[in-house]
Amino acid sequence: MVSSASNSGIATLLKPAGVLFNYTMNRITLILSLLLAAGSYTCSFAWNKATHMVIGAIAYRDLRSSSPRTAARVVTILKQHPDYAIRWADKLNDPALSGEERDEYLFMLAARWPDDIRGKDNPYDHPTWHYVNFIYAPDQGIVRSDSTLATGENILQAYEQNQQVLRSNAPDSAKAIALCWLFHLTGDVTMPLHTTALINSQFPDGDQGGNKFKIRVTSDDKTINLHSFWDGMLLGDDDYTSARNLAIQERKAIDRKQLPQLCETGVTAWARESFQLAQDNAYRSHTLTTGTDQEGAVLPADYVATVKPIAMRQVALAGYRLADELAADVGN
C-alpha cells in the first residue's frame, strides 16, 4: 500500500563510496513491488508512555505562555472524553495537585492514551496508526519516502483524519478522541524508528522499525531491540512529577530559537525528517550491526552520547509542534 499522503515524495539512490549502483528501472520496480507486498505487523511503542507525557507537558507549558485560551479550551474538550471518568478522574482529583497542575496532567494523560488502550479490544485502538514504513534498502541502493510497506492506514493518514475531526463541527466527545491521537502521533512521528523499515539480507521483509534489530548497550547488558532502546532512552518513570520535571528541563535546554525545524509544517514533512534521522543516526548510515535474539550486537561506545541529544531535541520539537497545532486547530 502506498500512502496517499506521501505521493509527492522523491526517490533517492544511495551510492556508497567505491560502489556504483546502476539499477535499471525494471530492477527497482521489481524490488519495490516485493517490498510493497509485505504483510503488516504490530510495532512496539514509539517513545514510551513517560516520554509522551513529557511531550504533553511541554505543549501545555508552551500554550500557557503563548495562548492560555487555547490551553483552557483543550482542557474543556478533553473533559468530554469517553474515558475521562474511568481512566483519568481519580488521578486528576489528587488533592496534592493545584488546578494548573491538574490541567497539565490532563495533557500528559491524553498524550499517552493511545498507548494505554493498545491491545485491549478498545474500539478506538488503531495499531497501524502509530507509524509509517518508508523504505530504507541501502544494500540495493534504494531509499524512498514516496512509497511505504503495506501496513494498513499509517500515521500520515491517521494524523490528517484526526485533524479534520478537530476542525469540524463534531461534538467535543469526538474531538477529545481526535485530540488524544494528535497529541500522540505528533510524538510518534518524531521518533525516527517509527518512520523506517530497514530492508537487507537479514531483514528481507523489513526490521519492523528496529524491533528485529538486536543490540546490547554494553557487553554486560541484556539483549534488547533497537526500537526499545530508543523508546526508553530519556525517561522510565511515568508519574506526573518525573515527566513534568523532564519537560521543564527540556524547555530550559532547548527553546524554540534552537529549532529551525519548526518552520517545517505538515506531518509528511515531519516523517521524512525523522526518516533521515533514522538513516543517519539510528542506523548510522547502515554501519550499525545487529546481533541475534540470544546475543545482540554491542552498540558503539559513543552511540548513546551521540543519539541522546537527538532524542532530547526530537521530544522538545514534538512538544512545540503540538502546541502550534493546537493553537491553529483549537485556538482559532
The domain in which residue 253 lies consists of: 4-329
Q: What is the pLDDT of residue 46?
A: 66
Pairing outcome for strands 196-198 and 134-137: parallel
pLDDT per position as a tens digit, 64-76 = 999 999 999 999 9
Q: What is the pLDDT of residue 45?
A: 57
CATH of the domain at 305: 1.10.575.10
Is the Cα dihedral 163, 325, 51, 290 positive or negative? Answer: positive
pLDDT per position as a tens digit, 172-231 = 999 999 999 999 999 999 999 999 999 999 999 999 999 999 999 999 999 999 999 999
What is the number of structural domains in the chain?
Answer: 1
pLDDT per position as a tens digit, 226-262 = 999 999 999 999 999 999 999 999 999 999 999 999 9
